[in-house]
């Protein structure tokens, strides 16, 4: 009987862990969208795009999490340098920098810290 309990507990833990990883991934993708929005300055595009709302709904964190992620993204976008290669005419590489931020340890760490602020119970 205790063996069955251990197996069931392990399955629940794996399922919860998988859902948590999925939520973290959605939150990272939300951060990528915000990065593009902040860096491009094109807020009119996002009026007709529901992606940010969809990621927020799917990730299912408290509103303060999105405010924290927005702040982190905004700080990072402000550090994006203009390109020094003459052929690129001093333009910023928005997708390049946003993708680097998306893959960064800094974003991974920030997203993991948000676990306790999920609207879902993982227990």
What's the pLDDT tens digit per position in 37-68?
999 887 777 788 899 999 999 998 999 999 99
When comparing pLDDT for 18 and 9, which is higher? 18
CATH class in words for 2-117:
mainly alpha
Whether 78 shows a pLDDT value over 50: the answer reads yes
What pLDDT band is residue 3 in, cutting at 50, 70 and 90?
A: very low
Structural domain spans, the chain: 2-117
Question: What does the alpha-carbon distance between residue 42 and residue 94 come to, in Å, rounded to a whole number?
Answer: 12
| Longest distance between any two alpha carbons in the chain, whole Å | 71
Token readout for 114 is 């948000």
How high does pLDDT run on average in the chain? 81
Question: What does the alpha-carbon distance between residue 4 and residue 48 come to, in Å, rounded to a whole number?
Answer: 50
When comparing pLDDT for 34 and 7, which is higher? 34
Backbone region of residue 4 per phi and psi (left: phi > 0; alpha: psi in -120 to 50; beta: other values): alpha
- The pTM of the full predicted model, rounded to 2 decimals, is 0.77
């Amino acid at each position: 009987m205790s063996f069955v309990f251990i197996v069931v507990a392990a399955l629940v833990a794996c399922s919860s862990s998988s859902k948590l990883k999925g939520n973290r991934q959605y939150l990272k993708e939300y951060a990528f969208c915000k990065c593009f929005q902040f860096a491009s300055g094109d807020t009119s595009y996002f009026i007709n795009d529901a992606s940010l709302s969809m990621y927020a709904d799917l990730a299912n964190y408290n509103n303060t999490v999105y405010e924290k992620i927005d702040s982190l993204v905004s700080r990072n976008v402000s550090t994006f340098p203009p390109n020094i290669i003459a052929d690129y005419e001093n333009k910023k590489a928005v997708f390049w920098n946003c993708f680097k931020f998306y893959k960064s340890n800094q974003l991974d760490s920030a997203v993991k810290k948000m676990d306790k602020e999920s609207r879902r119970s993982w227990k």
